Structure 1
Amino acid sequence: MSTPNGIGEIRMIRLDQIDILNPRERGSRVFEGIVKNIKSIGLKKPICVTPRPQPDGEAKFLLICGEGRLKAYQALGEQEIPALVVEVTDEDAFIMSLAENIARRQHHPLELLSGIRQLMEKGYTMRAISEKTGLNYYYTQSICNLLRLGEERLLIAVETGAIPINVAVTIAGAGDDDKAVQAALQGAYESGALRGRQLALARRVIEKRQRHGRTAGRTSTTKHSGVSTTTLVRTYQDEVKRQTALVRKAEFSQQKLLLVVEALRQLLSDENFVNLLRAESLTSMPKYLAERVWSNGSHV
């Protein structure tokens, strides 16, 4: 079914043909909710992919939008999923994926920051990033400046609504000078930029910034070195998931092989079928199968 204006077409795509372009973490509760909704009412919106044929001619696709829906289909044991297929470059696919994450009601702050950082690394100007993501230019400019300064804690505070972007920029401008930071905080309070709960949240962010450094989730590299326990746990969990997936895939392949072997045994016990194979000069099979179909590994 073609979509209007040649934008793309809706097709059924095998799950194993789709590679994830911009993977992101998702909470178990959120994911369970997606699976439950799809199981009860079906897929309301198709995923979006772009074709990337392989050198050997195999059809492959990059996922642009809909990672949660794709993984939910995998969890439900589905083999295919409805997908809007569009022809775009890798760069445009990445921007579309980033824009989709920004548009979500509950995007993770680090995802947005990571996306903007990648656009900066690709050489985009702040105005171009603003236009492509739909974000306000001043906001984009401030985010980019804070990214350059490595102010991850302040950036997350802005994204979660803990402090306004202009206050974060002022605090970042004060650097590591505690008196200057406190003066910036006082100025924000007196100007009305910070009031009540926001003031308390801003103080908490500043305390963490002073104690643990500007980067969230990790201690300052000037005080500590090596791998954090959080990183180790996450790496271990990822490896467990990978190994579990490999075991499941191996078991599934083994089951399919057993079905093929049993089917061949039954077919080859039929003399008419064997005569047909001989007439077509199909008198051999891969050694791997022959050893399982016949104990002596003989041919037809």
Structure 2
Amino acid sequence: MSATPAQKIEMIPISSITVINARSRNRKQFREIIDNIGQIGLKRPITVARRMTSEGPCYDLVCGQGRIEAFIALGQAEVPALVVNARTEDCYIASLVENCARRKLRAVDLLNDIAGMNRRGHSVPKIARMTGLTSEYIYAIISLIEKGEERLLKAVDCGQIPFSIALEIAGAQDHEIQSALQTAYESNLLRGRKLIQAKRIVEMRRLRGKGLKVYDSRARPMSSEAILKAFEADTTKKKMLIKRANAAKSRLAFIIAALRTLLLDSRLKPILEEEGLTTVPEVLARKL
């Protein structure tokens, strides 16, 4: 983008900003953005391009739509902004590039960054103030990362296991883990679906280890042999499904024919009536 870089941050009225490339966003994530800005403030100003009109200056948004919407939700009238001189077309391109370049980081990667802040000398209370998280949560994250417990770390971040239970599991021997889960159940920390999820996570940890494997999601070119092999495997699978369906159809036809013959037997009717078996399911009755 060909633009003159901003030299300072200015407070500008939100009402004078036009969002030229608006996009929708996840409501839950947006609520988290609002809460975070409300607790610890704005970490990075928005970027706008100034336009002069007869009524005074107005601004086209280059990047920071979520931050503006969060400020509006928090009842603010002004927002900190870096003001650049750029054409409208350049603003569109810059906004598009920002959206395309936004990295989709794993939760584990973000939590590793928190542990990295601690390694760089930031204290736990300071990290808590900077991130809006509790000190207890930060301590748990650092402890789990130091022990290589990525699987438990992900479960804590997803809310599947309380961090206190994750720390107990991380520090327990295999034979002590069931006792930790039982204690969590009795303390009402894990009940119902969460208890089932916790048991599944513990079992996966036992079978596959503490870490999470990262698979390369980039598409690999397929050779003609690989395509042919995949096609043959799919064809074989469909043939097996057809074979099983035909076998089931034949068995059902035999059962219906046998029942039809039995119900025509006059000696069977008194026995059925004596046993109280005088009705037949409607779906089956239509076939007889």
The verdict on a shared fold, with TM-score over 0.5 as the criterion, is: no
Q: Which interval holds the TM-score relative to the shorter structure?
A: 0.3 to 0.5
Q: TM-score w.r.t. structure 2 length?
A: 0.42
> Computing the radius of gyration over CA atoms, which structure comes out larger, 1 or 2?
2
Q: TM-score w.r.t. structure 1 length?
A: 0.41
Structure number with higher relative contact order (C-alpha < 8 Å, ≥ 6 residues apart) = 2
